[in-house]
Amino acid sequence: MGNLKRSFYPTFLLILILFTSYSCQKNEIKLHYLGHSAVFIDFNNEVTVLSDYGKENAYIEWGWDSPIYDAGDPGPDIISYSHHHDDHFDEKRAEKYKAIRIDGSVDTLIGKLSITSFESSEKDISLYDNYSYLFSINDIKVLHLGDCQADIMMINDPAHAWNLEHRYPKNCDILIMPIESTRKFILQAVKMVQLLEPRVLLPTHYWSEAYKQDFMSEMQRSYNKNGKNIQIISKEDPTFTYRKNDRSHGLLLLELKPAARKKDK
């Protein structure tokens, strides 16, 4: 019996250590929506990404109002750019940060964060002209689709829908997706969400509050019609914290109010 106890203790201790390590492993993503396609993403307080940090309001003179607020301090570890249009890229705003630049095709690991790019189309599906990025840490995946407007608008074409389904990863924890360009494509955007089936959706890249509300309404109508669970969270601030184990089945649709990041005290 004594030998049995002695042989049991090491096994029990190993199980306890593994359980404690797993329990202490953080699985938390913090989003701060700066506006347009720009999002500051904090992965487990270990690594931060600033995506598509463009000019403050690139096309306001054309009547397209979609400001990008200041990213503040402390700055990000990584800055990613889908492409170099003014509403997604601004060298002057980014030069204050000593961050790793992700700009183009990539499949790499930075710290514990895995980053994989996917070619995307903004103007015409016959041409890849920007990149979407998948960020993964532990078992959490965040897909930022960048400016894939043409891909979304052509989703009703069966051949292209097949292409999208096999190009982009499905069932990500968080999907950050454009919902408007110089043209409107609410129905196609809803279909894109249903194709990719994320757990959380942050709609971006829209030119008016009214248009965003139309998209939110159509999302709810479509999901209810098809018997799918959807929950809308509307916040008067720009932040949201995602914890994987907190989420139930269905889609969580975020409505965040863009704002600047405040400097840590």
Bond into 258 cis (ω within 30) = no
Question: How far, in Å, CA of 162 to CA of 241, rounded?
Answer: 32
Measured CA distances, 171 to 81, 115, 117, 134, 192 (Å): 23, 17, 17, 12, 12
The more confidently predicted of residues 1 and 170 is 170
Contact 27, 245 (CB under 8 A): yes
- What stretch of H or E contains 72? none
Question: How far, in Å, CA of 216 to CA of 85, rounded?
Answer: 26
- pTM of model > 0.75: yes
Measured CA distances, 154 to 121, 160, 175, 240, 246 (Å): 10, 7, 19, 31, 35
pLDDT score at 15: 42
Instruction: Report the residue count for the chain.
Output: 265
Angle 209-261-206 (CA atoms, 0-180°, nearest 5)?
Answer: 20
pLDDT score at 177: 98
> How many distinct structural domains can be found in the chain?
1
**Mean pLDDT for the chain?**
90
Residue 240 belongs to a domain: yes
Over residues 212-239, the mean pLDDT reads 96
Residue 186 belongs to a domain: yes
Residue 9 belongs to a domain: no
Residue 25's pLDDT band, with cuts at 50, 70 and 90, is low
Residue 188 belongs to a domain: yes
Residue 35 belongs to a domain: yes
Checking if the pLDDT of 24 tops 50, the result is no
Question: How far, in Å, CA of 134 to CA of 166, rounded?
Answer: 14
Contact 63, 35 (CB under 8 A): no
pLDDT score at 17: 40
- Residue 25, judged by CB atoms within 10 A of its CB (0-12, 13-18, 19+), counts as exposed
- CA-atom Rg of the chain in angstroms: 20
Residue 260 belongs to a domain: no
Task: Quote the domain boundaries for residue 171.
Answer: 28-255
Residue 17 belongs to a domain: no
CATH number for the domain including 115? 3.60.15.10
Question: How far, in Å, CA of 12 to CA of 219, rounded?
Answer: 49
Q: What is the pLDDT of residues 70-124, one digit of tens each?
A: 999 999 999 999 999 999 999 999 999 999 999 999 999 999 999 999 999 999 9
Residue 14 belongs to a domain: no
The more confidently predicted of residues 247 and 224 is 224
